[in-house]
Structure 1
Amino acid sequence: MTINANAKGFSGRCLCGAVTFESSASPQVVVHCCCKDCRKSSGTGHCTHIVIPKSAFVVTGDVTFYEHRADSGNTISKGFCGTCGSPIYSTTSGYPDAVFPRASVLDDPEMVQPQMVVYASRAVSWDKLDETLPAFAEGAGG
């Protein structure tokens, strides 16, 4: 994964506005994930993650975290607004220098364009994603 810290940036916030974030870097990659954990934490068939350098990410407000071990063996830490429950971002021990904000809470969700689907083998039949995107049965590596 290549991370370019020389970029435009973006911002987002939870439903109630108690948690906000800013990135001084543009998305490095945008990924739809269909794994069970993402389905359960998003309340739908997948979630869309943005990958940025951790050093470019600033969060304001109180974030509540839930940690668990993923199928990959990595420890995933998911950050939610403690007031409204909106998922804000996650981190993983597999990529310690990266942060994965959720596209669903962007101030301008149209600024991202998903580039791939991971854990496509776990996708549910009723959640139709863009079939032209590269799809990986499991993760995309790393």
Structure 2
Amino acid sequence: MTRPYTGGCACGAIRYSIAGEPLFANHCQCRDCQRESGTGHGSYATFARAGVTVTGEAKRWDMVGDSGNVKTRAFCAECGLPVYMTFATRPDIFTIRAASLDEPARYKPQAVTYAARGHDWDHLDQALTKFETMPPG
């Protein structure tokens, strides 16, 4: 068994430990992720929810994605760092911000989602598979 993925917010008020490997890892260039990250994309790793333990209280806000489905973004009320996302239609998965990992080098992106909204100045690995929007679940 591999060692868990661990991480949390910048101040340590929120911590997580995740057993298992990511189901999907991506850079997302949708406008919501651009706004939240303050740059051209957000970087995420998605895991099976069953292997996730979270300590600390996150502040949450719901938003409606392009799919029409609600996604809940969770961040630390103390330091403001975005930490994870959950999805109303997919309670079985848990998505973390790659930058929140204790060992960010373990993050290995597989694809770019919402490439149709990417900017010329946001240079991502050209070898990654690109999806114009979100690939089918």
* TM bucket, shorter chain: over 0.9
Q: How does 1:128-139 map to 2 (within 5 A)?
A: 128-139=123-134
Cross-structure match for 1:70: 65
Amino acid at match of 2:115: A
Segments of 5+ residues of structure 1 without an aligned counterpart are: 1-5
Q: Helix, strand or coil for the counterpart of 1:140?
A: coil
Q: Helix, strand or coil for the counterpart of 1:49?
A: strand
Q: TM-score, normalised by structure 2?
A: 0.95
Cross-structure match for 1:125: 120
CA contact (8 A) 1:30 1:115 kept: yes
- CA deviation digits over 1:44-81, x for unaligned, max 9? 11111111011111111110001011110110000000
Cross-structure match for 2:32: 37
Cross-structure match for 2:90: 95
Higher strand share: 2
- CA deviation digits over 1:67-114, x for unaligned, max 9? 011110110000000111101000112322001011011000001210
Shift in Å at residue 26 of structure 1? 1.8
- CA deviation digits over 1:22-56, x for unaligned, max 9? 10122122111000111111111111111101111
Segments of 5+ residues of structure 2 without an aligned counterpart are: none
CA contact (8 A) 1:8 1:26 kept: no
- CA deviation digits over 1:7-36, x for unaligned, max 9? 542100211111111101221221110001
Amino acid at match of 2:52: F
Amino acid at match of 2:106: M
Amino acid at match of 1:29: F
RMSD: 1.2
Shift in Å at residue 127 of structure 1? 1.0
Q: Helix, strand or coil for the counterpart of 2:90?
A: coil
Residues 1:25 and 2:14 aligned together: no
